[in-house]
């Protein structure tokens, strides 16, 4: 079973995109390309910067944590990226 990762990408205007994958480097390359696999909401938002990746484990847990992170305010997402908030704190 492959491990799943949570990742955050910073877009051109500072917006943070959150996603999950089993291969962060491959997925980030897809986001930067003009490939059909790129997330629609990232089109035209270059330059993209991978600002965080965290190993989560199972897909089920990764999906749950991704949903919680997406609901965080911009300030809390920035704190998460800076390491001031841990995954276990989000999961509570």
Residue 81 pLDDT: 97
6-38 b/e (C-beta count within 10 Å ≥ 16 → b): bbbbbbeeeebbbbbbeebeebbebbbeeeeeb
Domain count, the chain: 1
Q: What is the pLDDT of residues 57-90, one digit of tens each?
A: 999 999 999 999 999 999 999 999 999 999 999 8
Give me the domain span that covers residue 33: 4-91
Tokens standing for 21? Answer: 């994958």
- The CATH number linked to 14 is 3.40.1440.10
Q: What is the mean pLDDT of residues 7-13?
A: 96
Q: Which pLDDT band holds residue 20 (cuts at 50, 70, 90)?
A: very high
In this predicted structure, which of 6-10, 42-46, 83-87 has the lowest mean pLDDT? 42-46
């Amino acid at each position: 079973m492959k491990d799943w990762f949570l990742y955050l990408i910073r877009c051109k205007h500072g917006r943070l995109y959150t996603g999950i994958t089993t291969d962060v480097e491959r997925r980030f390359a897809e986001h930067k390309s003009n490939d059909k696999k790129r997330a629609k909401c990232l089109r035209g938002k270059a330059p993209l910067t991978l600002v965080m990746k965290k190993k989560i484990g199972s897909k089920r847990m990764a999906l749950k944590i991704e949903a919680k992170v997406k609901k965080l305010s911009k300030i809390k997402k920035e704190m998460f990226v800076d390491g001031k908030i841990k995954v276990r704190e989000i999961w509570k």
